[in-house]
């Protein structure tokens, strides 16, 4: 029977021990080449063996433990989702989370790695699978048709004890269970399993290897005498233009998804950790610095940074500050949400992307600001890139995520109880003078962000080397002006009176415009400006971006000119 590209059967494609950590195995099933790799968390990934960028084999790439890095232009893809997490040619941008490599279903069981050409069939153990303590023989590749290999294996059985046929090109022959992996029309791998570990392992493995070698040589001599069937011709799905182009700096709000509060714990005095797990499978790809919107039981939406390291997609861990003064946001999470509750979250978005091409990366966290920087440190750590993490808290008890910080290999400095007057000096010493390809990332209270910005600027750090994310906008918004907005794409001119925001006016006119924090901190309502002078009142854009006068946050910022033309 000829092989079919759409055969949904699960076949073994590797031995479990073929996949040591930090290795990429090259496999093939039904004509499709596979890059197979085990992440540091043990998860096995089976991906199409080509980088979405230039088609280079990912099997020659680098397994970094949580991400696979293509050898050609360094695109990185996350464990589990195969989502692209970093594009070196765009070091300052967050790649579209929608760029995802093709994955195949995978199951590790009975000493073997199993996969299938598609997900049409659920994985089903072969008969008797659950009763064995399986021990894999050395796999034997054979240049012959899979059906012929199966027939030849059956021929090894003595006449009075014929082989039991198992589903999925399997056979049981005395103590050995064999599977034929259909690599291609004229290529196979024989994968044998013993139901228990033999007493003399080495001798048993050698003996079976000899038997299979003789069988292989016989099969290949026979195969050479007849015309070889044509190799299978799998097609490769093209990546759509939409998915392959760089996204705008902000992806409009998508649908929410439910997550279960798997764990809630006091990670430090005043900080509660929440582990939010997917209800089924894994969560979407995120990049270091990314945050999610959490929809709270009282209807509020709040942003929290993901603290996870690369390829950790089974759950997101966030840190929430316990604030007595907090009005309904964090307080609701801390007081009323319990383990087992279901919350709605947005897909991750990243307004705080991490460059991975710096010669020196300085991460400065104040208090709860540790959350995005912990994620950044973990990514840099896995890729063995140099970094320094400085974490300022008022007291030692307030140091959150101590275990996670302790697991890092880089330079981690915890500064507790530094008097406010000395923080600037401490930061100045930490930063030093700027030189090329040095970057600083800071997250914490507004005063601290200002200190880092001012100190860094005074020591020669340019704007593009200072990266920050504000939690909230402490500025008093001046909404006294009145002006017109011309919406270029919507062909509409609207008047914004004093006391109303641009966002409100647009919504009143029936437009659907994404927004989230509505205080000029989160970046969701970022809009392109084509004409007119903007009166920036947000804390999201940096000074260079504000001076460029090409974009604005419509939730708080206004116009200095009588008219603004917006790209909306």
Kindly list the residues in this chain that would bind other proteins in the complex (CB under 8 A).
Answer: 14, 17-18, 20-23, 25-28, 33, 40, 60, 62-65, 69, 71, 138-139, 141, 189, 201-202, 205-206, 209, 384, 409
Q: Is 32 exposed, middle or buried (0-12, 13-18, 19+ CB in 10 A)?
A: buried
CA distances to 213, 364, 387, 456 from 429, in Å:
67, 13, 16, 10
Q: How far is the CB of 43 from other proteins (least distance, A)?
A: 14
The residue among 26 and 446 lying less far from other proteins, judged by its C-beta, is: 26
State the Cα–Cα distance between residues 1 and 19, nearest whole angstrom.
32
The answer to whether the beta carbons of residues 325 and 404 sit under 8 Å apart is no
Q: How far is the CB of 197 from other proteins (least distance, A)?
A: 12
Q: How far is the CB of 142 from other proteins (least distance, A)?
A: 9
CA distances to 30, 45, 136 from 36, in Å:
15, 5, 18
In this structure, what are the phi and psi dihedrals at residue 555, rounded to the nearest 5 degrees? Answer: -80, -25
Q: How far is the CB of 326 from other proteins (least distance, A)?
A: 40
Q: How far is the CB of 149 from other proteins (least distance, A)?
A: 14
The residue among 310 and 348 lying less far from other proteins, judged by its C-beta, is: 310
Nearest to 194 by CA among 286, 74, 110, 122: 110
What is the edge-to-edge ordering of all strands in the sheet holding 62-63? 62-63, 67-69, 76-78, 84-86
CA distances to 73, 116, 120, 211 from 90, in Å:
11, 35, 37, 54
**Using the 8-state DSSP alphabet, how is residue 295 labeled?**
E
Query: Which of 491-518 are b and which e, b meaning 16 or more Cβ less than 10 Å from the residue's Cβ?
Result: eeebebeeeebbbbbbeeeeeebebbbb
Question: How many Cβ atoms from other residues are within 10 Å of residue 535's Cβ?
Answer: 16
Q: How far is the CB of 12 from other proteins (least distance, A)?
A: 13
67 alpha-carbon distance from chain centroid? 8
The answer to whether the beta carbons of residues 329 and 345 sit under 8 Å apart is no
Q: How far is the CB of 26 from other proteins (least distance, A)?
A: 5
Give the residue ranges of DSSP H helices in 394-514: 402-406, 420-431, 446-458, 502-508
Q: How far is the CB of 384 from other proteins (least distance, A)?
A: 5
């Amino acid at each position: 029977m000829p092989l079919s590209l759409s055969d949904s059967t699960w076949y073994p494609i590797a031995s479990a021990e073929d996949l040591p950590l930090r290795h990429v195995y090259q496999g093939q099933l039904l004509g499709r080449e596979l890059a197979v790799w085990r992440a540091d968390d043990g998860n096995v990934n089976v991906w199409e063996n080509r980088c979405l960028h230039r088609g280079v084999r990912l099997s020659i790439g680098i397994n970094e433990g949580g991400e696979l890095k293509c050898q050609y232009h360094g695109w990185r893809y996350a464990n589990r989702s195969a989502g692209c997490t970093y594009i070196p040619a765009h070091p300052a941008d967050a790649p579209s989370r929608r760029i995802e490599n093709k994955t195949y279903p995978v199951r590790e069981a009975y000493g073997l790695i199993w996969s299938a050409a598609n997900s049409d069939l659920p994985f089903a153990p072969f008969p008797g699978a659950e009763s064995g303590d399986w021990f894999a023989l050395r796999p034997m590749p054979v240049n012959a048709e899979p059906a012929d290999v199966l027939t030849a294996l059956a021929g090894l059985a003595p006449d009075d004890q014929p082989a039991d046929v198992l589903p999925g090109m399997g056979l049981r022959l005395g103590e050995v269970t064999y599977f034929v992996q259909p690599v291609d029309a004229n290529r196979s791998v024989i994968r044998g399993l013993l139901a228990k570990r033999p007493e003399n392992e080495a001798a048993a493995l050698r003996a079976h290897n000899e038997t299979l070698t003789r069988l292989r040589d016989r099969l290949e001599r026979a195969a050479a005498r007849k015309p070889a069937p044509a190799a299978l011709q799998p097609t490769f799905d093209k990546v759509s233009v939409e998915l392959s182009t760089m996204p705008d700096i902000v992806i409009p709000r998508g649908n929410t998804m439910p997550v279960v509060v798997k764990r809630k714990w006091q990670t430090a005095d005043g900080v509660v950790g929440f582990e939010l797990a997917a209800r089924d499978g894994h969560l979407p790809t995120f990049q270091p610095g990314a945050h999610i919107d959490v929809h709270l039981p009282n209807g509020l939406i709040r942003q929290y940074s993901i603290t996870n390291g690369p390829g950790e997609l089974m759950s997101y861990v966030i840190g929430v500050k316990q604030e007595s003064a907090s009005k309904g946001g964090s307080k609701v999470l801390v007081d009323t949400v319990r383990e087992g509750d279901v919350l709605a979250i947005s897909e991750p978005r990243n307004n705080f992307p991490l460059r991975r091409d710096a010669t020196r990366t300085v991460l400065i966290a104040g208090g709860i600001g540790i959350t995005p920087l912990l994620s950044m440190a973990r990514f840099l750590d896995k890729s063995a890139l140099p970094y320094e993490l400085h974490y300022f808290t008022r007291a030692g008890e307030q140091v959150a995520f101590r275990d996670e910080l302790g697991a890092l290999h880089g330079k981690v400095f915890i500064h507790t109880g530094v008097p406010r007057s000395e923080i600037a000096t401490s930061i100045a010493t930490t930063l030093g003078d700027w030189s090329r390809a040095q970057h600083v990332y800071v997250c914490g209270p507004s005063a601290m962000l200002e200190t880092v910005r001012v100190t860094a600027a005074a020591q020669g750090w340019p704007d593009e080397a200072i990266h920050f994310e504000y939690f909230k906008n402490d500025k008093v918004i001046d909404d006294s002006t009145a002006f017109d907005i011309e919406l270029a794409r919507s062909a509409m001119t609207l008047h914004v009176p004093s006391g109303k925001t641009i966002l409100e006016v647009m919504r009143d006119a029936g437009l659907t415009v994404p927004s989230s924090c509505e205080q000029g901190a989160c970046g969701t309502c970022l809009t392109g400006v084509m004409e007119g002078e903007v009166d920036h009142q947000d804390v999201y854009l940096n000074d260079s971006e504000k001076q460029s006068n090409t974009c604005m946050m419509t939730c708080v910022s206004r116009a200095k000119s009588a008219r603004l033309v917006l790209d909306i």
